[in-house]
Amino acid sequence: MNKRFIQLLGGSLLCSMPAVADSGANAPSELYDPVALMLLVVIGGLLLAILLLGNAVLGAMDIFREKMKKDAGKALVTIGIVSLTLMGSNAFAQEAAPAANPYFTHLSPTSFYLLVAVIIVELAVVISLLFVLRFLAGIKRKRKPGKVSVPGKPRVSWFEKLNNTKTVDAAAEADEDMGHDFDGIHELNNPTPPWWKWGFVFTVCFGIVYFWRTEISHSAPGQLEELAAAEEKAAVAKEEYLKKAANNIDESNVVLLTDANDVAAGQKMFISNCAPCHGPQGQGVVGPNLTDDYWLHGGKINEVFKTIKYGVADKGMKAWQEDFSPKQLAQLASFIKSIHGSNPPNAKEAQGQKE
């Protein structure tokens, strides 16, 4: 029976290897795929475990020998059916056109799922053999006999064990009395729980190690050093945030920039790009005067920002939103607001409405 069992299982393993089938004259065998090799190694290991467990089970079934002779035919027929099923699946895998697995292997889906199915079946056989072996060997978990309560001995709960306390009756209070009495209340001996004591010991040990590392060996940063590192990290994060936030400026949230660097940057952009139409001092040339109280499209900071950003197409002013970042547009608008009332020479006549 052992030989027939091994032969049938060996045939099942060989039939579960569609990777070795020749799919073409020049097509590489699926057997060389790393996933196929890994699955075949797992299958071989499980097969070896099945053989060992099968021999162990057969050795333990001496007392059931007669019954096994009757059931052996059924077991072999079942294994034969599984083998024929795997052979049919193998033939189908050889006839079907292999489709590339787009995930982690070049195995065809049929071959991959067939190998996985063989592993699952072998795992089920291993588990079944373990249960049978455990039953035959008489390895069963026996219930532990319940503890017999000793008469007169009080039952101690898990909470009392955790806190190392005990319940005392009125007669035993005298033995635990500490001699302190206040307003009819007696102080009994109630020691600190063990978990609290060990927690205190842990904190003391931790404090010693912490002090050694931070103040003596300097192998770890102290509190002030940790604070400085945290502040430095926060400053870097703030700088990165401000860089990103600068590009979130629009006409709805722009504010007047009064920093000298921002105004100087706006002046530089104004002279390079706006002076041909508005003059280097904003006195107005083709475009209107930007230093008086009159505005054609509004003189508030958000209105000046919007005019620069979108331009005025019907009057020949281009939109500058593609040339400057939102931060630069805010700097330019802030510079224009800073030259209000400067009264440059040769200023152009007022245009628009007074604000």
Taking only the tens place, the pLDDT of each residue in 307-350 is 999 999 888 899 999 999 888 999 999 999 999 989 898 889 98
Please report the sign of the dihedral spanned by the C-alpha atoms of residue 145, residue 146, residue 149, residue 154: positive
Confidence (pLDDT) at 138: 60
Q: Regarding predicted confidence, which is higher, 109 or 293?
A: 293
Question: What is the per-residue pLDDT across 190-239, written as a single tens digit (0 to 9) for each?
Answer: 778 888 889 999 999 999 999 998 889 888 888 899 999 999 999 999 88
Is the pLDDT at 281 greater than 60? The verdict is: yes
Distance CA 118, CA 86 (A): 8
- pLDDT tens, 81-118? 444 444 444 443 343 334 444 444 566 777 777 888 88
**CB of 122 closer than 8 Å to CB of 47:** yes
pLDDT at 230: 94
Report the pLDDT averaged over residues 156-170: 72
Give mean pLDDT, residues 246-253: 82
pLDDT at 183 (0 to 100): 83
Segment 46-68 shows an average pLDDT of 67
Burial class (CB in 10 A: 0-12, 13-18, 19+), 147: exposed
Averaged pLDDT, 252-277: 92
pTM for this entry:
0.36
Would you say residue 288 has pLDDT above 60?
yes
Report the pLDDT averaged over residues 126-132. Answer: 78
SS (H, E, C) 131-144: HHHHHHCCCCCCCC
Q: Is 111 in contact with 19 (CB distance < 8 Å)?
A: yes
Instruction: Output the pLDDT for position 148.
Output: 53
Kind and range of the H or E element at 321?
Answer: none
* pLDDT-based confidence at residue 152 (cuts at 50, 70, 90): low
Percent of the chain with pLDDT over 90: 28
Most confident of 37-46, 73-82, 83-92, 293-302: 293-302
Residues 18, 110: contact at Cβ < 8 Å? yes
Query: What pLDDT shows up at residue 41?
Result: 77
**Exposed e or buried b for every residue in 253-274, given b needs 16+ CB within 10 A?**
ebeebeeeebbebbbebbeebb
